[in-house]
Structure formats: C-alpha cells, structure tokens
C-alpha cells in the first residue's frame, strides 16, 4: 500500500495542523494571508520583509480592469450563477502565455541567464551580454516593453524601491534593473521594464518555485476576480457585453477550411 | 455604444489606479493581500480588526491535506504540466456543495434566519426557535456536526475568540454560538459547531457578499493548492495515486442502464 | 487494498477493450460517435432509431452562435492560446442553470411529474393537472416559452417528428406535447415548447441518466466550441470583443458594499 | 460599432440556421454527430468516408479506463455534485501535453516534416531523413513507442486499414507508416506506432486544423468522461479513491524550499 507524505494540512480528532503548526493556536489570528501563501509554497516561514515584497507583487497583479479574464468570469457567472467556482475557474483559465504569463517567463528567463554570469562581472556588463545574445537569437526579452505605459510602468520603480527598503534586491532584480539600463545602447531604442516582469524577478529573488511563478499571478487574480463578481452583483454589465456581441453578429457563408 | 462602469483597475499612459487609489503609491507595499482581497470584494477599506478576522478565516480554510480538490490538482498537473492554471482551476471546481460549500450555506442560513428575530429576543431563545423550526422541517443546520472533530473543532473557539478580541461578534456569530449552546436540549444530542460553519458566520458578520462566501473559501484554497503543487514538485505522489487506481481496476461486464 | 470495477476502457499488452468489446475490431470503423457516446453513458448499445433521435438532440444543442459560452471560449483562447483544453473547459463552465440548464430541468421535471399519473388518465387530462399545480405553486414549467421564437421553436416539431418516425415517443415526450396543447386554457396565453425542453424530454425517453442530461448538452456544445475556435483561427473576433469592453470602461468611484 | 462575422449558429424569430443550413430541416435527423463536429470545425461537409475515419479516431480516443482525467472527473463530481459542467471541465483540463497531447504533437510534427520532402522522394527514403534528423537533434518522434503495447498498438493497423478502405491515406499517414517501417534500421530497436499518434496523422490527413487536433481528442474524451460519471452514479468508487489517499497520508516535517 503506498503512503503519501505531506507537510501540509493534517487532522486528528482533537487537532488540526498545517505546516507542522497548530492551525488554531499558531496560524489563525497570527499569520497573514500573504504570509501563509508564501509559507505554503516554500514550507519555510518568510520574514516580514519577504512578506511585504510578496504582497506588493500580489497587489500589482490582482486586477487590471476589463481584461479577458475579468470578462470571462462575469460572462460565466451570467450563464451559470449557481457555480461561483466555475466562474472563477473559467477566469483563471485565461491565465496563460499571453495575458498573465510574462511574470513567469521573466523570472525563468533571468534565472536561466544567471547561470552564465562570470565571477565579478558587473551587472551592466553581464546585462550587455544577455541583451546581445537575445538580440542575436532574434528573441524578445520577457518583461521589456509595454503597449500602454510606454514611458515607464509605475509599478516597476515602486517594486524596486520596496525590495531595496527590505534588503531583498537579489540577482534576478539586479539583472533586470541592469537590462533596463543597458538595452537602449544595444537595441537602439528605450523600452520600459514592465510591471509583470519586475514581479517575476522579485518572486524569483524570494526563492519561490520557478515552475509556479504563474501560480502566484493566479492567486492574485483570484482576489481580483472575486472583486469583479462582487461588482457584477451590484452593477451588472455581463448581459450588456453578451448582447453587444450577439446583436452585432453578421451571418456569413461558411468558408470551408484546409490547413495551409 | 454601451459603457461599462468599474471602480476596479484602470490605467492610462502614466498611471494605474485600483479602487480609486494609485496602485503603485498607495497600494503596493502598504496594503496586505488579505486586506486587498476584502477591499476588492466590498469596495471599502477594512479596519485592522476586520482584516485580522478575515485572514483567520482564510487560514482556517486554506488547506486540509489530501482532499479531493488537492488530489485533483496534483493529478491534473501530472497530466498537463504545461498548464498550472488548468491544475488550479480543476482543483477549484471541486469547491461545490459537498466539500467547500458549508461556509456559504451556513452564512446564508444564518442571514435568512435573522430576518425573523423578534426585538429584544435573547440569542438563546431565538436560537431555540431556529433549531426547532429546522427540526420540524427535517432539515440539517449547516455548520453543525463534524465527522472527525466529534468533540469540537479546534478552529471554532479560536475564531470566536479572535472576533471577540476585535469587537466583531455580530448577529451571525451570535446566533451561531447560541445554536451551539441550545441545540442539545432540542435535538437530544450534542454536535460540534464546525470550522467551515463558523467561518461562514464570521464572513457574514464582516459584511461580505453572501452570494460570494464560497468565493472566499476558494481564494483560501487557491493558496493551499499552490502549496500542494509546490510539494508535488519536490515530493511527487500523483503518479502513485494514479497507479494505485489504474493497477487495481477490475474489468466487469457492462450493466446496461435505465433510470429508476 | 480497494478494487475499482469498471466496464469502460481496459487494456493489456495485446488488447484494448471498451464496454466489453474489442476497441480496434468491434468499435473503430463500426460504431458512430453519437452511438458510442450513448453506449458509454448507458452501457447498452442503442438501436439505430435511438441513435438518430440522440444525434438530432445533439445537433439541436451544438451551437447557437455568440452565446456567453462561445464568447468565453474565444476570449480564453485569446488570452491563453497554449491551452486549447483551457479554452474549451472555460466555455463548458457556462453550461449551468441559465443558458444550458433547461434541457436537464425539463427532463427532470417531466420525470418527477410522471410519478403522479393515474392509470388510464389521458395525456391531456394529466397535463392539465401538472400545469395547474405548477401555476398554483407559482412556478414556471421548464421548456415552456422562448424569448426569440415566440411563435414556435423550429426544433420542436422536428424532434417530435423524428421520434415519431423512430417509434420513440415515450411518456416524457407525450406529457411535454400535452403540456403544449393544454397550457393556454390554464395559463391564459400560448407559449411555445422550446427546443432545449423538447431535447430534455427526448433524452429522458431514451433512458439516459437524468442526473447527466446536462452532460449531453455539454457534449454537443463541445463540438460547437471547437467550431467556434476553428472560426476564431480563421476570422478572429476575440480581440475586438475585448477591446469593445476595455475601451468603453468608465471609471467610477468605489461604492462600498454591504449585503442588504 | 464592431461587427462579428460568423457562419455558425444564427437565429431569427422563425428560423435557426447552422453553417448556412436550416438546423431543423437539414441538420437534425440527417447529420450524424461526428459528421456535424467535422463540419463545424472545417465549415465544409465531409464525405461519408471522411466521417468514418473521423469517428474511428474519436472511438480510439474516447476512454482509456482510470486515467488521471477519469479519476479527476469522478473526484470533482464527488466533491461538487451540483455541477456536472465542473466535473467534465476538470477532467478535460488534464488533456495537456502528457496524457492527451501526443495526437496533436504527432500531427504537427508530421505536417512540419512534410515541408522538406523532395519531389518524387519515396516515403521510406524521406522517413529515413526525418528519423535521422530527429535522432541527430536528440529528439523523440511523437507517436513512436508505447509503455504497454510494446509489440504493437491494436488501434494502429485498424486505423490504417479504415483509411485505406476509404481512400484517405494522405501524406501524414504515409509518412507515419514509413517511419514505422524504417526507424529500426536507424534507431537500432523496434518501437510500435502508437494509437494516439496514428490518430493525429489521420486527423491531419482529413484537413482538420492542426492547432485544434488536441480539441478532437478532448471531444472524444468528453463522451468518455460522461461514461465515467454515469458509471460512478451506478457503482461509485470516487470516495474509495479519496479515502485510499487520505487515510494513507503520512505527516512529515516541512522541508523549506529553494529553487536550485
């Protein structure tokens, strides 16, 4: 018979433990939700500074207004109001490569790049190597550029400042900052370091699992989607969105379809 | 052309706002994640005491070990490791009536019951009416009873104590506590007030939207499921679970099927 | 060690069986997809007539243009093109009480009503009882009425005709037809029997599990949603839908929120 | 105001059309479900032979017993029986790279490889090039090898035979067959062409969109998952599966976690 080890939740008739702590006595009322999420993911209790950086990242990613994920959650709730879990799950399913993936892509990119840093190489020199290589491979640098905040994403300097205040600027944030400084001389134009990217760098510096960086963006977004549903309950727009599409459909002839 | 009002996220070339605040200056680094989730759901900033009760509820609901939802998330990640969002969404979809629904059911039940309270009626007298009516209707009282913690759920007295410390014992918690005191004389046996139920009462007292109480259980669980995935990455068990089922399948003859 | 019985798929080194058949020799190339879906759900092979009625139901429910589920699938694919499974799952999650639930609600309603039929009672007399009781209870009759096809849903007479041709008009369809005939004299106005409702009646007459009637609507819709994605690949509209919402957002002040 | 063109479902007060056909008169009762799914995806009506090959593929992929996706659907239904759509969606979310992805990977791989075929090159010579290149790049060939059916997957010769009978062996199936013939001389061992792979080759030869090949596996699997739920209703095993994990959990100390 296989056994399944876990350090997460366990319970007996008289006790519930979580991460080896008494849930009632040592966690409830004492451990904040961001702190707990960090602890669950790493199985080590974060410092107050780590919690502050982590929660700043979650705040940065929680809600961006009428994104596809927000629209999806509202429409699914319109269609199936009996299932809040379905509406939230549907929204999270949009958290893939295009709209929520930059955080993870950036964290992973920086982590892989760091393996090649030479001893004593300055961050700017190293960043020149990294940007030059990406350019030679005709690849984008994740986290560089933003379609709206062309002169700078306000989240980026703020997250750098918070990490600095907490003494938590590690190699990922250092490399990312250096990329921000040196890329214009190599690419010939100045692009902003975007908020999703700096969040990925910060999460990687916190030692969170790289395979799950997207998961933290999704945790933040879950809070945002609950906010979307709460607003939908008070000021519904989903039916208007649905009708704006349905009433503007234009029937066309089938076009047959062969892959090219 | 329809317009879609929202007080949630908005952005322009130089600014990002959330709930009417500057995201970078007034939210990041200042507002904790539990606080932000509360604020997003109610569009009003909670007090420190409200945040503490709310985060205690989230801690109580975050992870219960190898629940169906945890197993589902691990198996889905085994099967589709390219999609963390799919693994989390699949786990949340188990957050329905049976395993995560008590929180919402209890909050709603108390809220509906409260409409019938007579002026100046004591909580115990009122609770006697409520329990008597449910019994007459042969209905269970949501939040009463637990299959493991038969002598008391350790989360329940702790959450009452925290709410008391913060001055946040409102009508829902008051009625729930009274049900705990009086039900033995009516039902003829003593059942514990369970943790999921007291969480529902506390969330209702915090003024959170009753239609979304399940949503807060799901938010808590999202953090728990990320913890499950992180543990799965380090100490995988999903393949063993899969094989323990697959290798113990027993092929039987089809039985035909007609509804009764 | 528990064992898990199943009559569904099983495989050994040299053989794969499904429903007790050799998958390669007796199912592939011989059994149509609608027939197989029916067989899997009931574990008995349907007759040709049953397959025809079943596939007519699936055709009736497969796609209705830009429904919320179709929009959700397109938006999720826009947001996470790496995960076709996520886009389809998100669309299916809208298959709840409001937009896809009528089929199941109608089948269950008829099934429960049928228990009260007196021996030899004519369908019209029985239908008068049923409609009168629903009216007295101030409840709607699932499957009665349509917001667009006010003079009649074209799918309804067609499905009755197909069931008639195949000798498969059972008690559920008979009662549903009778409700269509007698309700005007009781309700004082004439409503159409809608297509979703007649599909539920037909599925119930086929002996499919009532708890899963919604599942067949979802199976049909899966084919429809793949059609939506295929069209989105050739003629994308999801980004226009997204922008039509995002660009027409109107920032308003937070309103605070207390449940009433 | 944007317009949204579609050739899929449309309806007016008196008519419902689908793919330019009258749904009631020209589709219901006439078009089988596999045929309809094909038509929806390509917007051209398939021939009878194409439908037979397509439905053989769907049969091959519908159910494989207690796969992770089947277990997930059963556990989710156990946990949230109020939401059939959630249980099906959760199961489909496992349809990713590892367990259902081979079909799509193989179809795409063959399609991309075919671009390099020289005029008049024999299939075996071309297959030698393809296998040699993959080997040099240290990459697997999707669809080659099976962990159970080591001497051959029974679905493979059957699907080739059906395609042959219908005159539908195109370049993808031809290349795949040739890979089956020539790979031992290059790789030094004989591997079976697996069923998921041959399905991908057949779907590509049918001209179905390569980006959605996984979608057809998911359509097939939806029918299988409904079968799983129907069996779960009659012979429940989900609670036993849950308990076999939960009762065999072993509480261990948290291990802290840093990415490597």
Preferred mutation among A54, A88, A199, A234 to probe B, highest tally of B CBs within 10 A: A88
Are C177 and C123 in contact by the 8 Å Cβ rule? The answer is yes
Tokens of A158: 């703020």
- The answer to whether the Cβ–Cβ distance between D253 and A10 falls below 8 Å is no
Which of A 50-109 lie inside 8 A of D, CB atoms? 80, 82-83, 85-86, 89, 93
Q: Which residue of chain A comes nearest to C253, CA vs CA?
A: A231
Average pLDDT, integer, range B142-153: 90
Q: What is the pLDDT of residues A207-249, one digit of tens each?
A: 999 999 999 999 999 999 999 999 999 999 999 999 999 999 9
- The answer to whether the Cβ–Cβ distance between B154 and A22 falls below 8 Å is yes
User: Does the structure show a pLDDT above 80 at C97?
Assistant: no
C-alpha distance across the termini of chain C, in Å = 52
- The answer to whether the Cβ–Cβ distance between C248 and B1 falls below 8 Å is yes
Beta strand A21-22 with C10-11: parallel, antiparallel or unpaired?
unpaired
Q: What is the pLDDT, as a whole number, of residue C260?
A: 37
Q: Which helix (H) or strand (E) holds A48?
A: helix A48-61
Q: What is the pLDDT of residues A94-150, one digit of tens each?
A: 988 777 789 999 999 999 999 999 989 999 999 999 999 999 999 999 999 998 888
User: Does the structure show a pLDDT above 50 at C72?
Assistant: yes
Q: What is the pLDDT, as a whole number, of residue D226?
A: 98
Q: Which residue's structure tokens are 């479902």?
A: D9
Distance separating alpha carbons of residues D8 and A254, to the nearest angstrom = 8
- The answer to whether the Cβ–Cβ distance between B257 and D230 falls below 8 Å is yes
Q: Which residues in chain D are classed under CATH 1.10.230.10? A: 48-239
Chain pair B-C, CB pairs under 8 angstroms: 113
What DSSP string describes chain B?
---EEESS-EE-SS-EEETTEEIIIIITTTS-HHHHHHHHHHSSPPPHHHHHHHHHHHHHHS--SS-HHHHHHHHHHHH-TT-HHHHHHHHHTT-STTTT-HHHHHHHHHHHHHTTPPTT--HHHHHHHHHHHHHHTT-PPTTB--SS-TT--THHHHHHHHHHHTT---HHHHHHHHHHHHHHHHHSS--PBPHHHHHHHHHHHTT--GGGHHHHHHHHHHHHHHHHHHHHHHS--HHHHHHHHHTTEEE---------
Q: Which residue of chain B comes nearest to A86, CA vs CA?
A: B93
Are D203 and D216 in contact by the 8 Å Cβ rule? The answer is yes
User: Does the structure show a pLDDT above 60 at A260?
Assistant: no
Residue B142: left (phi > 0), alpha (psi -120 to 50), or beta? beta
Q: What is the pLDDT, as a whole number, of residue A258?
A: 45
Note whether A255 contacts C: Cβ–Cβ < 8 A: yes
Question: Residue C212 gets which letter from DSSP?
Answer: G
Cα–Cα distances (Å) from B32 to A35, A238, B61, C57, in that order, read 9, 30, 18, 52
What is the ipTM metric for this complex? 0.95
Q: Who among C1, C75, C96 is closest to A94 (CB)? A: C75
Distance separating alpha carbons of residues B108 and B176, to the nearest angstrom = 12
Q: Which of C87, C257, C27, A156 is nearest to B86 (CA)?
A: C87
Q: What is the pLDDT, as a whole number, of residue D116?
A: 94
Backbone phi, psi, residue A250, to 5°: -130, 115
Are B219 and A223 in contact by the 8 Å Cβ rule? The answer is yes
- Counting as contact any 3 or more CB pairs under 8 A, the partners of C are A, B, D
Chain pair C-D, CB pairs under 8 angstroms: 300
Average model confidence (pLDDT) for chain C? 94
- The answer to whether the Cβ–Cβ distance between C258 and B83 falls below 8 Å is no
Nearest-CA distance from C250 to chain B in Å?
4
- Counting as contact any 3 or more CB pairs under 8 A, the partners of A are B, C, D
Note whether C241 contacts A: Cβ–Cβ < 8 A: yes
What DSSP string describes chain D?
---EEESS-EE-SS-EEETTEEIIIIITTTS-HHHHHHHHHHSSPPPHHHHHHHHHHHHHHS--SS-HHHHHHHHHHHH-TT-HHHHHHHHHTT-STTTTTHHHHHHHHHHHHHTTPPTT--HHHHHHHHHHHHHHTT-PPTTB--SS-TT--THHHHHHHHHHHTT---HHHHHHHHHHHHHHHHHSS--PBPHHHHHHHHHHHTT--GGGHHHHHHHHHHHHHHHHHHHHHHS--HHHHHHHHHTTEEE---------
Confidence label for D99 from pLDDT (cuts 50, 70 and 90): confident
Are D108 and B93 in contact by the 8 Å Cβ rule? The answer is no
Average pLDDT, integer, range B213-229: 97
Confidence label for C259 from pLDDT (cuts 50, 70 and 90): very low
Tokens of B236: 């995988």
Distance separating alpha carbons of residues A162 and A177, to the nearest angstrom = 14
Bridge partner list, C143: none
Nearest-CA distance from C4 to chain A in Å?
15
Are B71 and D242 in contact by the 8 Å Cβ rule? The answer is yes
Average pLDDT, integer, range C162-184: 98
Average pLDDT, integer, range C119-147: 95
Neighbours of C206 (CB within 10 A): 25
Greatest alpha-carbon pair distance for chain B in Å reads: 67
Q: Which residue of chain D comes nearest to C27, CA vs CA?
A: D59
Q: What is the pLDDT, as a whole number, of residue D240?
A: 96
Are B168 and B76 in contact by the 8 Å Cβ rule? The answer is no
User: Does the structure show a pLDDT above 60 at D257?
Assistant: no
Preferred mutation among B68, B234, B253 to probe D, highest tally of D CBs within 10 A: B68
Distance separating alpha carbons of residues D17 and D8, to the nearest angstrom = 8
Contacts of C99 in chain A (CB under 8 A): 79-80
Q: What is the pLDDT, as a whole number, of residue D147?
A: 84
Nearest-CA distance from A242 to chain C in Å?
6
Query: Which CATH number is correct for C48-239, 3.90.79.10, 1.20.58.410, 3.30.1360.40, 1.10.230.10?
Result: 1.10.230.10
Average pLDDT, integer, range D47-67: 97
Which of A 114-133 lie inside 8 A of B, CB atoms? none
Average pLDDT, integer, range B166-188: 97
Q: What is the pLDDT of residues C20-60, one digit of tens each?
A: 999 999 999 999 999 999 999 999 999 999 999 999 999 99
Q: Which residue of chain B comes nearest to D247, CA vs CA?
A: B66
Average pLDDT, integer, range B52-70: 96
Q: Determine the Cα angle at D253 with ends D248 and D258, to 5°.
A: 120
Q: What is the pLDDT, as a whole number, of residue C115?
A: 95
Q: What is the pLDDT of residues A139-180, one digit of tens each?
A: 999 999 998 888 899 999 999 999 999 999 999 999 999 999
Q: Which helix (H) or strand (E) holds A6?
A: strand A4-6
Beta strand D16-18 with D21-22: parallel, antiparallel or unpaired?
antiparallel
Contacts of B69 in chain D (CB under 8 A): 79
- The answer to whether the Cβ–Cβ distance between A257 and C230 falls below 8 Å is yes
Note whether C29 contacts D: Cβ–Cβ < 8 A: yes
Q: What is the pLDDT, as a whole number, of residue A2?
A: 84
Average model confidence (pLDDT) for chain B? 94
Distance separating alpha carbons of residues C172 and C190, to the nearest angstrom = 20
Residue B6: left (phi > 0), alpha (psi -120 to 50), or beta? beta
Q: What is the pLDDT, as a whole number, of residue D259?
A: 44
């Amino acid at each position: 018979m296989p056994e399944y080890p876990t350090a997460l939740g366990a319970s007996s008739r008289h006790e519930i433990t979580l991460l080896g702590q008494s849930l009632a006595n040592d966690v409830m009322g004492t451990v904040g939700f961001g702190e707990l999420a960090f602890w669950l993911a790493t199985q080590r209790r974060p410092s107050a500074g780590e919690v502050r950086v982590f929660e700043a990242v979650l705040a940065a990613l929680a809600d961006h207004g009428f994104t596809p994920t927000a629209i999806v959650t509202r429409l699914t709730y319109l269609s199936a109001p009996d299932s809040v879990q379905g509406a939230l799950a549907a929204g999270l399913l949009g958290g893939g490569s295009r709209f929520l993936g930059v955080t993870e892509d950036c964290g992973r990119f920086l982590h892989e790049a760091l393996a090649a840093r030479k001893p004593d190489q300055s961050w700017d020199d190293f960043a020149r190597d990294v940007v030059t290589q990406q350019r030679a491979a005709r690849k984008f640098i994740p986290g560089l550029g933003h379609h709206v905040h062309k002169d700078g994403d306000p989240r980026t300097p703020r997250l750098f400042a918070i990490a600095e205040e907490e003494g938590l600027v590690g190699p990922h944030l250092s490399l990312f900052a250096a990329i921000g400084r040196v890329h214009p001389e190599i690419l010939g134009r100045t692009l902003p370091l975007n908020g999703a990217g700096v969040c990925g760098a910060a999460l990687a510096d916190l030692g969170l699992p790289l395979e799950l960086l997207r998961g933290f963006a999704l945790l933040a977004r879950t809070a945002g989607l609950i906010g979307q549903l709460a607003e939908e309950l008070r000021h519904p727009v989903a039916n208007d969105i649905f009708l704006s599409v349905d009433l503007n459909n234009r029937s066309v002839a089938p076009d047959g379809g062969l892959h090219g």
